[in-house]
Each structure stands twice: as C-alpha cells, then as structure tokens.
Chain A
Amino acid sequence: MPLLEVTDLRTYFTTDAGVARAVDGVSLQVGVGETLGIVGESGCGKTVTALSVLRLISSPPGEIVAGSSIRFNDEELLEVEPARLREIRGNEISMIFQEPMTSLNPVFTVGYQIQEVLRLHRGLSKREARAAGVALLAEVGIPEPDQRFDAYPHQMSGGMLQRVMIAIALSCEPSLLIADEPTTALDVTIQAQILDLLVEMQRVRGMALLLITHDLGVIAEVCDRVVVMYGGQIVETGTTEEILTRPQHPYTQGLLASLPGIGDRDVRLNPIPGTVPSAVDWPDGCRFRDRCSFAWERCAESAPDLLPVDGRSSRSARCWLLDPDEAAGRGAHVTPGEPT
C-alpha cells in the first residue's frame, strides 16, 4: 500500500475569465521512503497538486472537485475533520516552500517558530522545545545553533533560512515531506547543499519526499521516480533513469532537448515552441498538440489517455504515438522514444 495515493485529483479555480482547470485528473502514488519528483514548466499545475494534498487551496476561488481522492496512510484527506487535518499538517505531512526569505514570520525569532511547532504538535514544554530546536538546527547544518536560535529571519541568509525551514518541517518527524521548488530561490552552490541536506535527512529518517521542481538537474540528482506534468495533467511517468534516458512523450523529449550543456557556448538553445495554453481554455484533444512537432489529426480529435510504455503500468505516457494500433496503422510514422 502506498503512503500517499492521489486518484483523479481535479482542482478548479473560478476566475472572471471562467473556470481554470489547474489540476485536471492527476493520479500518483508515493511509497514509504520513496522520492517522487513532479516536473513541469510554470503553470502546469504541479504546485496546485502539492497544495491540494494538504488541502491548502483557499476556497473560494479554488475547489477540489468531487470524485477526487487523496489517501494518506489509508485515510481519505478530503473527508477528514478540520481538527484531524491540522494534526496531519506539519506533523505527518510537512511542506517547505520556494522562497525561504518570506516563508518565516519576520516578527519572531527563528527559534520561536521552531518551538511553536514542537509545542503545538508534540506537546513539549518551552525548555524541552528549545533543546529539541537547537538540536534540529545543528542537524540541518546551521553553525552555532544555540546563538542562531535567537536570531530573526532578516539576520540570516536565504540558504540558512531554507535550512531553518527544513528543520521546522522535519521537527515532528513527518512520514511525507512535500518540497515545492525548495532550491529555486537560492544560488547554485547553495542549491546543491540544500539538496544534499534533503537527501540526507530523507535517508536518515526514512521519510518519503514529494519534490516539485522545474529543474531536471534536481530530478536527476534526487528522485527515484518522476511524474512529468503538462496542462494540469500527467503526461509521463517512469523511473528517473527511464525518463531522462528514454523519454516517450514529445513534451518530455522537448524539455530534455532544451537543456543547455556545459561548454555549449555558441550553440543556440533549443526551446519548445509556443507557450502553455490557458487553464481556462485547454485545447480539445491533446493539450500539447499546438506545440508538438508530431501532432496529426487524431491529436485534435480525441485526448489520449496515459498509455503504458513497454506494457508496464508503472511506466506510461499520454501520447497517441504509444497506441499500438497507431503504430501498426500508420506504419511507424515516427519512432517513439527518439528525441529529434
């Protein structure tokens, strides 16, 4: 049984322009101690997916549509009472955010903010919480944790603050940590340190990690399995190695092809043409077809399902190219799996 099982999640937002289907039928699973990466460009619904798991979507304007299911430890999160939900948040599922500089309350010391979580969820006394908090700060690699405990957020650097955020998130030993672009706001050297820290913490504590990023480098370094999202849907799943070496969906292929290589000084970048369509008005059929170099009539006529790759259910892609009938009928119009 997976630790987290999201089934057919649909999160819609009511806007002036219409209903934005930000997440539109996402199903994914995270096993105990596993690292799942969600990758995709801005606006593909990866952050909304993460927020939905903790039910942090504010309503209105957001709404998780009936029929969606989020099971955590065999408990349906979409149906639990608010009190139970608060118990789960921060305690069993923790989350860290993209921007460490604004993720901490500027009027309290970082120590106070760690203490608050420990006292609330674990019922520690002030003194016990301080000792535990200092130990946590030391564990996430903050030098002089005893002094840093009394520092205010504005006195610390972004990398240090992200370490503090990780300490807060880990303080109650959650079994699942959701990290929403945890390194995006940091410079490259710090990024590597923070990633190493996350991996280390995960290994030591045996917790599962749901890592959201648009950085394929991060995925390659950290994740066991990858989910690629586009247009509010999952377009491809597989192990990290499979996704990076044998991408099946044209979008994944495009993402990989657009990466610059070190030393490519005078080589033009190879971007995916076009922009992400609006979530209020997804195109009929395949949502990627306007930007896809393989698209043909069938892509406009009907939307492909997630089709198994190599006949395995753990590996799939949402593309008609993978339909066995198609391959037979069209006589291998293109060869799936070969980046162009």
Chain B
Amino acid sequence: MTDRSRLALSALLPGLPQLVVGRWGVGGLGLTVWVAFLAVLLTRWARFAAGWGGPLDHQIASLTVVAGLLGTWGWSMFDVSRQAELERSGISQWRLAAEAFKKNRIAVIGAVVIVWVYLIALVTPLIAPYDPAMQGPLMGRLVAPSGEFLLGTDHLSRDVFSRMMYGARISLSIGFVAVGISVTIGTLLGAMAGYLGGWIDAVVMRFVDMVISFPRLVLLIAIVALFDTQSIFLIMAVLGFTQWPGTARIVRGEVLSLREQEFVEATRALGFSRRRIILRHVIPNVLAPVIVTATLGIGNVIVLEAGLSFLGLGLQPPTPSWGSMVADGRNFLLNAWWISTFPGLAIVLTVVAFNLVGDGLRDALDPRLRA
C-alpha cells in the first residue's frame, strides 16, 4: 500500500491502516472508538448539543466525544506518517517494553477492555437509556432483562443498565484517583527513604509497617465511620492514603539497589542536587515496578470500594456504585438475579482486565522476562 492511500484510508477510517498491517490492538481500538463515537454523535445529537450547557459530567461527556474523535483521527494520521521518523530515533526502554507488551495477546485485550470501560463511563450521560435515579411506576419493579430494559430493573423500578453505566464512573474514578494518590505518595516517600536513608528511612518505613499491620477493610471501616457524610472524595482519599505503603516498600527496595549503581554516583560527581537526582534520575528508573503495582492496585481499589459500598459504607444512595448495586440486589437474588449479577460481572471484568494488563506490563517491563 502506498503512503498516499494509507493516508487517505486513515483520514476516512482511522485505525484501519494499522489494522491492515496487523496491529490489531491499537488499530481495532482506534477504529471502534471512531465508529462508535460517530454513531453517538449522530444518534444522540440533541443530548450532545445540550451537554455543553449542562452539569459538569454532561459537559465532560460531550468533550470526551469530541476529543475521542479528534484524538483518534489525529493519532492515526500522525501514526501513518511518522514511520520513517520512528526508525531514525533512538530506541528507548519504553519502546522496547511496548514492543514486548504488544506480543502479549491477553494483556492487549485487557488494555482494550479498560480503555473501553473508561470511555463508556465518560460518555455515559450521552448514551445511558434512563436516568439512574429515576424510579418508574410500581409495576415496573423487578422487570426481567428485555428490549426495553436491557438488563432489567431493580426493586425501585430503576434501569439496571443505566445504573451500571453510572456506577462505572464511580468505581473507575475512585480507582484512578485513589491509586494516583497512593502512587505519588508511595513513590516519593519510598524514593526518599531509600536514597536518603537514616532517620527519614526509619520513620517512613515504621509508618509503613504500622499501616500494613492493620487489616485493610477494618481500617477503612474505622476511618469512614469517623465522618458523618460519605462523599466520593472521602472514599478516594481514604483508599489512596491507605494504599501507598505497598508502593513505598517496592520503590524503596529498588532505590536501595539503584543508589549503589555507578550512574547515580556519576550524577553526584557532576554536581547535581539530591532533589534533582531523586526526581530526575532515580525515580524514572523505578517507574516500571510502580506502573505494575499501580495497575494491579486499581483492580484492588475497585474491589475494596465495592466491598465498602456493599457494607453500606460507600457512597450515599441513590448514587449508584457497583458495590452498592450488588448489595441492593442480594435480597432478590432468587427472583431477580439480574440486579446483583450484572454489576458483579462488571466488577469481575474490570478487575480481571486490570490484572491481565498488570501482569502483561510486569513481563514487558522486566528485561529478564522478555523473550
């Protein structure tokens, strides 16, 4: 295929040129995102247009559609035209890892699933068939999955499918933010403890030991119970601030061995400040294990949040979250199995996807495991 025809194809159907040359992961993702978002734009034009003046989440949804379409198109055009440039530039460790990751089919599928779950969560206000909090007529209770209600309704006549889509936003944003908090704190404190040693190391690591020695769920319940209202920010913060010790331990261990390497000594001999050495030279070298723990950590946090919600310590009803939906449905398991089952499956699917990607990243980022 000539460059020109590839460009033309990319302009029309981004992702297809990549798909044709066998890059099924990114190609398939690009193409499906492009087609699906175009479909959303055409079929939900009214909601899309109204989104700009609506509440924040609605604005974000409309923005996501625009960004997704532009991003997919721009990426594909850039990707098609930059092959020559790629061959010239140096091969970074990240690129080597990306090559290795692509060979892992299951991990790529996991990554595609994750991207899709996040995209759906972002554009939910545009595509959800019903208002998640809207209670229908009494006779609409516990309706089995059908054409009208794809995944049925719950005991308050609410559409399970719509609630699941809204619930995804809660679960995923909590997972993302909590892990963001924990990775930032864990990496910085772990790197400082490992590199600086001395009393800083002792204080940080004893604190880590203390947090880890509590059963996590009991600790969470105790902290959440201290507050009157359970806002999403509280849950994010609590999960984030109890998650970092694991990361800190891993980072510290890595830094202890890095510190003895000659290139770190060389940076000291070149007159770099400790701050610069830690931030610019030590931390980039520990990012590989950090990324792996972060990915696995998101799955972990999603399960914990579901557990808290299941116990009634999560978000206040009627805000849907996967955990609270499972809890809602447990009284109706025998006659309305769909209320608990589908959110449960969503949790399983997402967490498994994160774990597959985490495993794939671990293999790809560790040169010793690279085939």
Contacts and interface: CB of A to CB of B under 8 A. Distances in A.
A95 B269 CA distance: 6
A90 to B, nearest CB: 4
Contacts of A90: 269-272
Majority secondary structure of chain B interface residues (helix, strand, loop or mixed): helix
A51 to B, nearest CB: 8
Contacts of A102: 261-263
B268 interface: yes
A152 B270 contact: no
Given A102-B262, A147-B88, A152-B92, A107 B284 contact: yes
A168 B92 contact: no
Contact of B269 (A94, A105, A116, A147): A94
B291 to A, nearest CB: 13
Nearest to A152: B90
A97 B90 contact: no
A105 B281 contact: yes
A103 B271 contact: no
A87 B92 CA distance: 31
Given A103-B262, A106-B285, A54 B92 contact: no
A86 interface: yes
A41 to B, nearest CB: 21
B269 A99 contact: no
B267 interface: yes
A152 B91 contact: yes
B131 interface: no
A141 to B, nearest CB: 20
A104 interface: yes
B89 interface: yes
B285 A121 contact: no
B148 interface: no
Interface string B254-294: 00000001110111111111001000110011000000000
B5 interface: no
Contacts of A95: 266, 269
Contact of B265 (A56, A85, A91): A56
Q: Which among B90, B261, B268, B272 has the greatest number of chain A C-beta atoms within 10 A? A: B90
A3 interface: no
Contacts of A117: 270
A309 to B, nearest CB: 35
Interface residues of B, number: 23
A150 interface: yes
Interface in B54-100: 88-93
Contacts of A91: 271
Contacts of B273: 86
A131 interface: no
B272 A109 contact: no
Contacts of B90: 109, 150-152, 155
A86 B267 contact: no
A195 interface: no
A89 B93 contact: no
Given A99-B262, A120-B272, A107 B89 contact: no
A165 B262 CA distance: 12
A107 B92 contact: yes
Nearest to B280: A116
A88 interface: yes
A105 B278 CA distance: 12
A155 B96 CA distance: 12
Q: Which among B261, B271, B273 has the greatest number of chain A C-beta atoms within 10 A? A: B271
A106 B93 contact: yes
A85 B92 CA distance: 33
A90 B91 CA distance: 28
B265 A168 contact: no
A56 B281 contact: no
B59 to A, nearest CB: 37
B246 to A, nearest CB: 23
Nearest to A87: B271
Nearest to B95: A152
Given A104-B263, A105-B285, A56 B268 contact: yes
Nearest to A150: B90
Nearest to B270: A90
Contacts of B265: 56, 97
A107 B266 contact: no
A108 B277 CA distance: 13
Given A150-B90, A152-B92, A105 B271 contact: no
Given A103-B263, A103-B266, A88 B93 contact: no
B262 A97 contact: yes
A150 B95 CA distance: 14
B269 A107 contact: no
A250 B276 CA distance: 48
Contact of A105 (B88, B267, B268): B267
Contact of A120 (B92, B266, B271, B284): B271
A116 B89 CA distance: 19
A54 B285 contact: no
A150 B268 contact: no
Contact of A89 (B271, B284, B285): B271
A336 B163 CA distance: 96
B89 A56 contact: no
B269 A56 contact: yes
A121 B92 CA distance: 26
A165 B89 CA distance: 21
A212 to B, nearest CB: 13
B259 to A, nearest CB: 9
B273 to A, nearest CB: 6
A102 B93 CA distance: 15
A105 B276 CA distance: 13
10 contacts: A56-B268, A89-B268, A89-B269, A94-B270, A102-B263, A105-B267, A108-B284, A109-B90, A150-B89, A151-B90
Closest 3 pairs (CB-CB, A-B): A89-B271, A90-B270, A90-B271
